[in-house]
A = this chain, B = another copy of it.
Amino acid sequence: MSAGKATKKLPLYARVKSYILDEIASGKLKTDARVPSEHDLVAAFGVSRMTANRALRELTAEGLLTRVPGVGTFVARTQHGGRLHTVRDIAREIMGRGSQYSVSVIAHKKLRPRPEISKWMGLDQRHKVFFSHLVHRENGRAVQLERRLVSPKAAPDYGGIDPEQTTPAAYLLKALPLQHVEHVVRAAIPDHETRDALDMAAGQPCLILERRTWSNSVPVSFVEFFHDAQSYSLSESFSPSRST
């Protein structure tokens, strides 16, 4: 966190998107609320209609908004559980639901990663990388265990953050332009450590989201998010533009 408005030199359409996202995250725009029309945004931001249209169209494709021709644009009904096809900060997501967010830091240090991670990050085998091991809680209940490896080459200052103040996702989103994302979703029976951290019953499966991110074509972060499958699911909503 800290400092800057971060309003660097984002493209105009991105500024409009960012504005709408903030209005939703801060609760000013709730589910089903009417979003400013393209005409409104044109007037407010001084952009052309195509630019306002692009902002709203992309947010719609990402499942955050719903548009009805001839009527208006509205905040889509909130999803329960996590969202695919987007990278969001879990702290904001939990607070956006009106819940209390807290985090337990199990580890926040450097370590030598598995060989395939070294290779992926383009590092020598002996180089250490940042490692954060966190439990995210909603109203005190553990909802997500995060195991994150961060490349020191891409984010040399990552070690300086305090995970209790700034979530890794929030820091990285602000510090580095997110360029490419890969998600893999899988399921497995957790090991004891994971199971205990999530307060899960024995024999129950975890839903696991693996995320790899790149910034400027440089690998930044490999994360595994573990969730109790009994209370967590991932969802996405989209409108194919035909074909596929």
Contact = CB atoms under 8 A, between A and B. Distances in A.
Given A17-B243, A87-B240, A187 B203 contact: no
B185 A235 contact: yes
B244 A86 contact: yes
Interface stretch (A106-114, A117-125, A174-182): A174-182
Interface of A: 10-11, 13-14, 17-18, 21, 50, 58, 61-62, 81, 84-88, 177-189, 203-207, 229-230, 232-244
A84 B85 contact: yes
Contact of A177 (B182, B203, B242): B242
A234 to B, nearest CB: 5
Nearest to A207: B187
A9 B101 CA distance: 49
A216 to B, nearest CB: 12
Given A10-B243, A242-B177, A243-B14, A184 B85 contact: no
Given A21-B243, A84-B183, A203 B189 contact: yes
Contact of A244 (B13, B87, B232): B87
Given A241-B17, A242-B177, A205 B185 contact: no
A180 B10 contact: no
Contacts of A207: 185-187
Contacts of A229: 186-188, 205
A25 to B, nearest CB: 9
A18 B244 CA distance: 7
Nearest to A206: B187
Nearest to A189: B205
Contact of A184 (B62, B81, B180): B81
